[in-house]
Structure formats: structure tokens, C-alpha cells
Amino acid sequence: MDIEEYIASGTLELYVFGLLTEDENREVKKIADEHQTVQAEILSIEKAVINLSHVVSPHLSSANYEKIRQQLIVKHSGESGVIQMQPKRGMAPYLGWAAAVVLMFGLALQYYKYNEANEQVRSVTAERSKFEQLTASLQQKNAKNETALNVLRDKASNVVPLAGQAVAPQAYATVYVNKDKNEIYVDISGLPKAPEGKVYQVWALKLDPLTPTSIGILSDATNTSGVFKVDNNNGAQAFGITLEPAGGSKSPTLDQLYTLGKV
């Protein structure tokens, strides 16, 4: 291609004026990329018409710039793909940043305080629920003791003392049989503490022939009074307490008989 001829054809002027088709535009761009003289020619033509239109333009007040800027900030700053605006001059942006920093600190402080207060509320709540549980269990225990005490005090209660046997001669226990209420309580505060993995089991005995019937396994760890309610058993002639493996046994382990007493 004769570059001089190409430049002289006037195509580059139309290119700058925006009067060529898309295909023609691409063609010019390609040639300009390959030939520095073509590129330089395009820049000169462009400079000439920019200057011409610039000098014939009426006075343009600077208020226009501010108006456009405002429009862009208001309408388009939130849209994607649109470049964020920066004011031309002034302290305003710095004040904005300063305010933002102050606000951030304020928010952080508030957030910290809020968390702290939340933490306090949480721990107070936990504390309270612990106390509530404790109170409830104390009330429960108290009610049990109250009932037990009532049985013990009841005139209708038949008191059966159980004496220590060969395994534990010092041990003792008491059975309270209340015929009115059909309830039996046993007080084992005189027995040594059951070793780990063992429990005391209470037996109602008929003597002729000797027939033991389990009326209770005393494994309630929360019971601190030593008074247990056991199953009722009409016609028991004697009561015995043996030490049995945890969970109790079907028949008493007689060599572990701690106490025994006749009605």
C-alpha cells in the first residue's frame, strides 16, 4: 500500500470526524498501528478539529462542571462500572474521612460495650439458673425429708430397730412401717458409707420358711439424710440389709448382711 496516497485520500479526516463504518474504522486502526506516519497524521487532524471546535465554542460557565459532577454523584455513583467521582478541590473529602473515622471508633466502642453488657447478662443469667436449680433441688430434698420426718413422727408407725451383724457389729438401722399409709421407710444413717460399686439392699423377710423379698435398693446418691422410702410389704416378720453389687441382687448375699431386726 502506498502510505502517502492513503493519507492524501482524505479517509483519515473522515475517521477522526466519525463518519466511517465500523469495518472501515478497524481497517484504519490496523494501518495506523503499522505505520507511524498514519498515526501521526490522525493525531494532527484530531488536534486541528479539537482546536477549531474549542475556539468557536461560546463561553462555558464553570457552574456546568459542578452540575455534571453532582448529577454523576447523585445518579450514578452507586452503579457498577461507573468510576467514583472525586471533588475537584476543598476540605470536604477530608472532613468526610475524618467523620467516617470518628464514626468508626464510635461504632467500635459501642459494639465493645454492647458485647460487654451482653456478656454480663449471660453470666448473670447462668448464675441465676444455677441458683434456681439449686433452690429447686433443695426444695425437693426438703419435701422428701419433711415426708420422711412425718412418717417417723407418726404414731401409727411401727419402729423396727435393726442391729449390726457379724460383718459390721457397730452398724445399725431403723425401719418404720406405717400401716395407715402402707408405707415403709428405712433410716440407714447408722450404716457405713457403701463402697464404690456397691449398694445397700433392703429385704423383707418371712421367717417360716425364710423367704426374703427385696423392697428397695438404696442407691440415691442425692439422699443425704439417710432416710429412704422403700416398697411396702405386708406381713414382713423381719427386715435385713445387705451390701450388694450396684443394681442389687435377686437374693440377699448373706455374708454381707449388715443389719437385721425382727418386727
Partner 1 sequence: MTQEELLEQIYKKDGKAFTALYDMYSKSLYGVIFNLLKDKEESEDVLQEVFVKIWKNIDSYNDSKGRFFTWILNIARNSAIDKLRSKGHKNSSKNLSSDNFVHILDHNTSVVNKIDAIGIKEFISKLKPKCIRLIDLLFFKGYTQQEASEELEIPLGTVKTQNRNCINDLRSYLQV
Residues that bind partner 1 (CB under 8 A): 8-11, 13-20, 22, 25-26, 28-29, 42, 44-61, 64-65, 67-69, 71-72, 75-76, 79, 81-86, 88
Best CA proximity match to 163, nearest among 240, 256, 252? 240
Nearer to partner 1, 96 or 192 (CB): 96
Q: Looking at residue 57, what DSSP letter applies?
A: S
Residue type, 233: N
Minimal distance in Å, beta carbon 39 to partner 1? Answer: 11
User: In this structure, what C-alpha cell is assigned to residue 115?
Assistant: 458485647
DSSP secondary structure, 133-201, as one string? HHHHHHHHHHHHHHHHHHHHH-TTEEEEEEEE-TT-TT-EEEEEEETTTTEEEEE-TTSPPPPTTEEEE
Q: Residue for cell digits 415426708?
A: 147
- CB of residue 61 to partner 1, shortest distance in Å: 8
Closest to partner 1 by CB, 31 or 184: 31
Q: Which is nearer to partner 1, 85 or 194 (CB)?
A: 85
Q: How far is the CB of 20 from partner 1 (least distance, A)?
A: 8
* Comparison of 59 and 250: residue with beta carbon closer to partner 1: 59
Q: Please tell me the distance from the alpha carbon of residue 90 to that of residue 69, in angstroms, as a whole number.
A: 14
When the beta carbons of 77 and 237 are compared against partner 1, the nearer one is 77
Q: How far is the CB of 5 from partner 1 (least distance, A)?
A: 11
